[in-house]
Amino acid sequence: MKTKERIISAALLLFNEQGEANVTTNHIAAHLGISPGNLYYHFRNKNDIIHCIFLQYRDHLRNSFTPIKGPASPAVWVHYLDAIFYVMWEFRFFYANLNDILRRDSELHSQYLAVQQELTVNLQLLLRELNRQCVLVIPDNEIDELTEVLKMLVSFWVSYQSAQSLNPQISQSVLYKGVSRILLVLKPYFHPKQGSELTQLMAHYQTLAAKPSDPFHK
């Protein structure tokens, strides 16, 4: 890995583990055993690094939430729900402090809004396609609002969980609980013929949510 990539990856690790506000560029350099000067050769400041991490976030959202092409199998559901888990886990420092990070960097905020807009369109297309395949039965005029509720659940699940405890630990099981809540909100819209599939999906994510936290396998 090149130094620039190593810096981004170390920053992401430290932000997630210690909270972005508690990590300086000096901490990142020390973690990598490089000089601050070497880090500053690649990045002007911490925000610069956050911008690069944001591009990874954007790519993940772009690649993982494109509408399906073929028939919606259980594997398709697992793909999307795992992608929701992944984005919440991999970028949890961002979700833990979303409004602060956006407020202090209007360029990043603009980019965030553009990505959210793309994501919204993709999610709406996805729900419409699942409707068309009779997997879901969502009244047409509710798709946009339901998309918003789902986006909100994902965007603020980490913050919600942080408010719910004096010593919040954003573990994987906490985030799988978030995925379960997404399924709960969608459950009433599953076509009756999807009953057993839905039950299995819910059981799968409830099991993951009940698990004590393991070190994450990358």
Residues lying near its own copies in the complex (CB under 8 A) are found at 96-100, 102, 106, 109-110, 112-113, 116, 142, 145-146, 148-149, 152-153, 155-157, 159-160, 162-166, 180-181, 184-185, 187-189
Q: How far is the CB of 130 from its own copies (least distance, A)?
A: 16
Q: How far apart (Å, rounded) are the C-alpha atoms in residues 40 and 72?
A: 47
14 or 158: CB nearest its own copies: 158
Q: How far apart (Å, rounded) are the C-alpha atoms in residues 43 and 12?
A: 14
43 or 112: CB nearest its own copies: 112
Q: How far is the CB of 58 from its own copies (least distance, A)?
A: 15
7 or 53: CB nearest its own copies: 53
Taken as a whole, the chain contains a residue count of 218
Report phi then psi at 190, rounded to 5.
Answer: -65, 135
77 or 190: CB nearest its own copies: 190
Look at residues 185, 183, 181, 182 and name the one whose alpha carbon lies nearest to residue 200.
Answer: 183
78 or 185: CB nearest its own copies: 185
- Percent helix, strand, coil in the chain (nearest 5)? 80, 0, 20
Contact predicate 123/117, CB 8 Å: no
Tally Cβ neighbours within 10 Å of residue 195: 10
Q: How far is the CB of 30 from its own copies (least distance, A)?
A: 25
Q: How far is CA 118 from CA 6, 67, 70, 122, 167, in A?
A: 29, 12, 21, 6, 35
DSSP 189: G
Q: How far is the CB of 90 from its own copies (least distance, A)?
A: 19
DSSP 183: H
DSSP 216: P
Q: How far is the CB of 35 from its own copies (least distance, A)?
A: 33
Q: How far is the CB of 181 from its own copies (least distance, A)?
A: 5
134 or 184: CB nearest its own copies: 184
